Amino acid sequence: MFVLMMIVILAVFALWLSNMERKHPAALIMIGLMSVVLGGRAVALLSDSYSDEYLGAVYADEGFPDAELPSESGEFELLNVSDRTALISSDIEPHELAVEPTPTFRYLTTPRPDWVETEASNSDDRYQIAVESGLHVRKRTAQQSLRDEVKAAVDAYVNDYLNSELASTLSGYSIEERESGAARTINLRLDGKTFEIARERFDEQVEFDYGVMNQSHALVKIDKNVKEALDQHWSKVRAASRLFQTGLGAGAILLLLGTMFSYLKLDTATRGYYTGRLQFGAAGAILAIIAAGVVCANWIPWM
């Protein structure tokens, strides 16, 4: 990237020198030579340099010197990289794969609800998935981790439902946990509205050989109301994105046309006495407009 930037800078500088009233042939020749050298360097960096000599140097650096073995005629011959690698691999003895036994466990909190082990299901009316927090030493940590796992599950569904990897980020919803007495629910908040997505909760303890662990479960349900709210918000996001894209394109075109018009008008007004300087300024302004457009485009979600 640095080499390419240097070539562009040299090209702009050469354009400025060539349009000056007083020519500088020596400087132009030096710039041409530097551009050729930098261009060759860029080609060398982009070309495939993994030749046999390069691989041999790598193996030599890693402590695999060239090996010599007697040939059928009794003379020693040099092994190439592939033969040397095969020779090294043949000397490696296989080892037995050690498999650790699975720890035994039993559930202390019984009975377990049937929905804990159910698979995710999706229909036109509702999407349902059982989410677990994973094993934790503390019960409170398991409950906090459950909310994060619910957020991840909802994000995955929203991205798939709206068919965009940016949907979960741009939809603007949040996952909240509400506790009212003994009942604890997980809610989704979007555009000032709150939707209950997980009423069924289950906290359990699992005993292992090394101790007792805590785990929390929740049955997440996304119904039609949530889907409609997501659709409405996503329509607004897409409309805003297209508006920004149109504005960016139109603004860039107007600025480019304005730059060219200003150059022609100033060049006519000065009767061509400052053509070189005006061309250099116009080129700089065009590059600045392109750079600003790229920066602004990175802030706009393209969909």
Q: What are phi and psi of 109, to 5 degrees?
A: -95, 110
Look at 112-116, 172-176, 270-274 and tell me which has the smallest mean pLDDT: 270-274
Q: Are residues 127 and 33 in the same domain?
A: no
Q: Is the pLDDT of residue 85 over 90?
A: no
Say how far apart CA 260 and CA 283 lie, in whole Å: 10
* Top-confidence residue, 157 or 94: 157
pLDDT in tens, 62-81: 444 444 444 444 444 444 54
Q: How much is the average pLDDT of 85-91?
A: 51
pTM, entire model: 0.58
**What type of residue is 273?**
Y
pLDDT in tens, 96-128: 666 666 668 788 888 888 898 888 888 888 899
DSSP bridge pairs for 174: 189
Q: Are residues 132 and 148 in the same domain?
A: yes
Q: Determine the pLDDT at residue 11.
A: 62
Q: Determine the pLDDT at residue 2.
A: 58
Contact indicator for 145, 134 with CB cutoff of 8 Å:
yes
Residue with tokens 């050690």: 98
Q: Are residues 216 and 245 in the same domain?
A: no
Q: Are residues 109 and 228 in the same domain?
A: yes
Q: Determine the pLDDT at residue 62.
A: 45
- Residue finishing a domain among 215, 232, 249: 232
- Within a domain: 91: no
Say how far apart CA 14 and CA 32 lie, in whole Å: 8
Q: Are residues 115 and 16 in the same domain?
A: no
- Within a domain: 186: yes
Q: Determine the pLDDT at residue 182.
A: 67
Q: How much is the average pLDDT of 138-160?
A: 91
Q: Are residues 214 and 248 in the same domain?
A: no
Q: Are residues 127 and 224 in the same domain?
A: yes
Q: How many domains does the chain have?
A: 3
Q: Which domain holds residue 179?
A: 105-232
Q: Are residues 181 and 285 in the same domain?
A: no
- Within a domain: 79: no
Q: Are residues 220 and 251 in the same domain?
A: no
Mean residue pLDDT of the chain comes to: 77
pLDDT in tens, 33-42: 666 666 666 6
Contact indicator for 9, 273 with CB cutoff of 8 Å:
no
Say how far apart CA 178 and CA 232 lie, in whole Å: 25
* Top-confidence residue, 276 or 14: 276
- The neighbour count for residue 198, using CB atoms within 10 Å, is 26
Q: Are residues 115 and 181 in the same domain?
A: yes
Query: Which helix (H) or strand (E) element contains residue 255?
Result: helix 224-269
- Within a domain: 128: yes
